[in-house]
Amino acid sequence: MPEKIAQLNIRIDPQLKEAAERAASRDHRSLTSFIEKLIIDFVGTEADLSDWQTKAVSKFKRTMIDIKSAQGGFIARSYLVRSKTGQTLKPNKLLSVLDIAHGNLGDLISSPHIFYPYTSADLKPNFTYDLELRLGNFDEILECAAKIENNPSFWRFSPLAMGTDIRPHWEDIANVEAPKNVRWFAPYHFTHHLAEIVLHALVLSEQLKDADNIEFRCEWTGLAERQLAKFDHSNSFQLLGKMAHADSRITSGAWDIKYLRQDWPEVVATLGAPVMRLFDPNLDYSARIVRDLIPHLQRY
């Protein structure tokens, strides 16, 4: 057990102190131990994007274990919208909110797939819970597992305005005439995926009146020995002679919504640059590059 060396001095109303002492006595604890327990319990119920994404990835692996196209690595994209008053989304309205967000996202970026609200009976999202999460069964989760061999995906979303979308690398399922036995990585589609998560978070944040901050966390696996390739909306394919020398990378960050609206390409570049430098330590991946790669955005 770690040594307790941090000191906390607080001043409170004498009557509140007496009430706390009585509560501590009923719990057979000292006042210090009781306050420590209250803090631990409170922190344990706070939304934690890292824990949330880790558990989502674990569920994705279990769910997609028999889907061949999901075995070569994946991209997991997550965000958490925080509001000044802790406002959340109504569970019974969550699917409708995601449907609206998907429609609005389609006005901003071509062919969005993230958090796709399937309507067919075998694919439509359903509510569940995850006892492995710190929030446990107190937190409702809307979850969708699309076990489609040529386009598998898994996502989950919480009324806390927190979601994760996981799917194989687009390059592994794309119908593209690329050299056989070559694992490749296209900066254009990489950027498209990052723009999707950032813009989805922005359009969904509009459903929370006092939303003021968004945290992002993205993870890529199965990168080792992939080669950079030029393949974009022109459908021309060209290997660029750059290979990744690490298999995975996680990037994260949190930004005020006002800043995101003003300069979301900079956020995309910040999240994406460490991944691109796995292929080339001198590679320039800036907001200007992001804007050049995604020519069809209309808003923000």
Question: What's the CATH number where 40 sits?
Answer: 1.10.1220
- 35 and 64 housed in the same domain: no
- 78 and 101 housed in the same domain: yes
Is the pLDDT reported for residue 234 higher than 80?
no
Contact 257, 202 (CB under 8 A): yes
pTM of the model: 0.82
- 108 and 256 housed in the same domain: yes
- 132 and 271 housed in the same domain: yes
pLDDT, tens digit (0-9, with 9 covering 90-100), for 129-152: 887 776 554 578 999 999 888 889
Share of the chain above pLDDT 70, in %: 89
The torsion of the CA quartet 280, 282, 288, 290, rounded to 10 degrees, works out to 10
Confidence at residue 265, expressed as pLDDT on a 0 to 100 scale? 95
Segment 148-165 shows an average pLDDT of 93
Smallest CA-to-CA distance from 86 within 201, 211, 204, 203 is with: 211
Domain ranges, residue 236: 48-293
Confidence at residue 253, expressed as pLDDT on a 0 to 100 scale? 97
Q: Is residue 162 part of a domain?
A: yes
Confidence at residue 232, expressed as pLDDT on a 0 to 100 scale? 65
Which one is predicted more confidently, 261 or 45? 261
- 227 and 212 housed in the same domain: yes
- 104 and 252 housed in the same domain: yes
Q: Is residue 300 part of a domain?
A: no
Segment 74-79 shows an average pLDDT of 97
Confidence at residue 2, expressed as pLDDT on a 0 to 100 scale? 52
Strands (E), 186-258: 211-220, 227-230, 238-243, 249-256
Which one is predicted more confidently, 20 or 102? 102
The values of phi and psi at residue 177, to 5°, are: -80, 80
Q: How many domains does the chain have?
A: 2
